[in-house]
Structures are given as structure tokens and as C-alpha cells.
Amino acid sequence: MPKFVRFIVILLIAGSAVSLGMVIVSNAKSRREQDLRVAKERAWVETVMGNMSGRLCRAQIVINGQNVDADRNILETTLLVRQFTYKQEPLPVREVVVPGGKVCVDGVHLIFGAEYPEEYKEMRGKNLWLLMHVYAPEQKEEDRFSFWTGWTDESFEVPMAMRVHPLGLDAHVSYFENKLWQRVWDLMRMPAEAQQRSDFTVMTPEKLPSLKACEEMYLQDSRHSGLYEVSVGLEGLTISEIANVRERTAIRDAWKEMKAGKKKK
């Protein structure tokens, strides 16, 4: 082989080796960064779930309007509902319309045992209460408002009240959070035997009636404030009418701002 050709071949081999080395180093660096990012996500989840474990999950409901017939029977009630984060920050207001004037709210209690799968060991030993639905007693399950819709046709939804970063410019759901709550959602729909194998227990209103409460709700007048506090925890689920004009006004103002923002878009 002529010297010139041999020189070119050596250059090509050396260039390939350098390029390969650069790719290996870049991949290793990328993997380290990914591992660090996942470790950080897991640490955040463990901290948030630790803060929420054993604590109340709460929301507020404002009666924003009621339709009545000639005999003053309530035909339909429009509610403004807002839930709170683990830091007790208010989440976006949602509008819910139910038939009649009696409103029910239910929740679940999730208990993660010491043998919960290693893949999600951050949840071990945690017990969490979640609000699930707002509805009228006669409403079909598929027509009820849900705080957590789980799977949709397009994606999976992590419950907002359980998110590490639910609000602000940094609002997002991490890859680890998404996987973790997908697994929880799937387990919630499995038979008790499958849940037992994962050391996971779901308490629902069917098993524990105190996880559901119903209340006749009225628009504010001389006797009613039109504002209700909802919470679920160790004592079950409670609905209490409270007299707090500032909170009621804040919820209505937040809803008006959201509607105005949607119209601009």
C-alpha cells in the first residue's frame, strides 16, 4: 500500500476513533445528567408525599347560581369548585353544574404499605386522602365531575393536588410522577388480590361510607353564605357551610379572570 494511501487510512481510523470516543463521552454525560434529573424528581416526590401523608385534602365550593321552577324547587345548581395543593395554595377554579340542589362529594384513602414495589419505594409507608367526585345523588357515574380523570383518549392526568409543581411558571409533571401515578391508577382498578400483592390498599365510599357526604346547598341569602368547605381525612369526608365573604369573592373573581382569559384566546 502506498505511503500516501496508508496515511489517509490511518487518518480515517484515527478520526473515527476520536468521533466514537466523543460519542461515548457525550452519551455517558447525558446518562449521568438523566440519572441526576430522575434522582431529583424522585426526591421531590418523596418530600411532597411525605408532607401530604396523613393530612387533610381540601376544597371549597361556591354556589354561583341556581335555576328554580314556579314552586321554588331547585332544578339546577352551578358550582365553582377549587381544590388546594399540599402547600394550601388554591388551584384553578372549575365550574360544575349539577341537577337539583343536593350536592355530594366523595373521596378515597390510599394506603401504601412497607412492601409497595421497589420501583416506587418513595410511596412506602404513605397514606393519602384524595377528593374524587362532585355530583348530584341521581347523577350517573360517567356524568359526575371528577378531580382526577386518569386516562383520557390523548394522555394520562396526574391529580393536580398531588403534583410536585402544580402552579406557576415551573408548572409541569415529571416523567417519574407520570409513571408513578399511572401505576397507582391501574392498581386502584385491580381486584383486591392484586392490590394485596403490591401491598396497596384503596378505601372507597363503598368500603368506608364516611368517605362520602351530601349537603343541600343554597345560593347566599340572609340565612346561607353560599360557600362550603370540603375536606377528607382521618375523620372521613365533611362538608361545612362557612361565612367568609373574602374567600367567596376570591373564588368568583378567579373564575371571572379565567373566563376572560379563555375568551381572549
- Kindly report the pTM of this predicted structure: 0.83
- For residue 93, pLDDT over 70 is answered with yes
115 φ, ψ (degrees, to nearest 5): -105, 20
What's the one-letter identity of residue 43?
A: A
- pLDDT at residue number 9: 61
Rounded to whole angstroms, the Cα distance separating 107 from 131 reads 4
- pLDDT at residue number 173: 92
User: Which residue has better confidence, 16 or 145?
Assistant: 145
Query: Residue 224 carries which DSSP code?
Result: -
Asked if residues 58 and 229 have their Cβ atoms less than 8 Å apart, the reply is yes
- For residue 246, pLDDT over 60 is answered with yes
Mean pLDDT of 103-117: 97
Among residues 248, 242, 239, the alpha carbon closest in space to that of 215 is found at: 239
What's the one-letter identity of residue 80?
A: L
Q: What SS3 class is residue 249? A: helix
**Given pLDDT bands bounded at 50, 70 and 90, which one contains residue 11?**
low
- pLDDT at residue number 26: 54
Written as nine digits, the cell of 82 is: 377549587
Written as nine digits, the cell of 132 is: 374524587
- For residue 208, pLDDT over 60 is answered with yes
Among residues 61, 62, 59, 96, the alpha carbon closest in space to that of 220 is found at: 62
- Which run of H or of E encompasses 230? strand 227-233
Asked if residues 108 and 130 have their Cβ atoms less than 8 Å apart, the reply is yes
- For residue 172, pLDDT over 70 is answered with yes
- pLDDT at residue number 149: 81
Mean pLDDT of 134-146: 93
Q: What SS3 class is residue 5? A: helix
Ranges 31-35, 49-53, 141-145, 210-214, most confident: 210-214
Q: Poorest-confidence range of 76-90, 97-111, 124-138, 249-263?
A: 249-263
How far, CA to CA in Å, does 227 sit from each of 34, 218, 246? Answer: 46, 9, 10
Rounded to whole angstroms, the Cα distance separating 44 from 80 reads 31
User: Which residue has better confidence, 150 or 242?
Assistant: 242
Rounded to whole angstroms, the Cα distance separating 114 from 131 reads 24
Rounded to whole angstroms, the Cα distance separating 200 from 184 reads 9
Neighbouring CB atoms inside 10 A of 75's CB total 11
Q: What is the pLDDT of residues 145-163, one digit of tens each?
A: 999 987 765 678 899 999 9
Strand partners, 237: 232
**CA atoms within 13 Å, Cβ hemisphere of 73:** 6
- For residue 120, pLDDT over 90 is answered with yes
Strand partners, 135: 104
- pLDDT at residue number 230: 98
Q: Quote the mean pLDDT of the chain.
A: 88
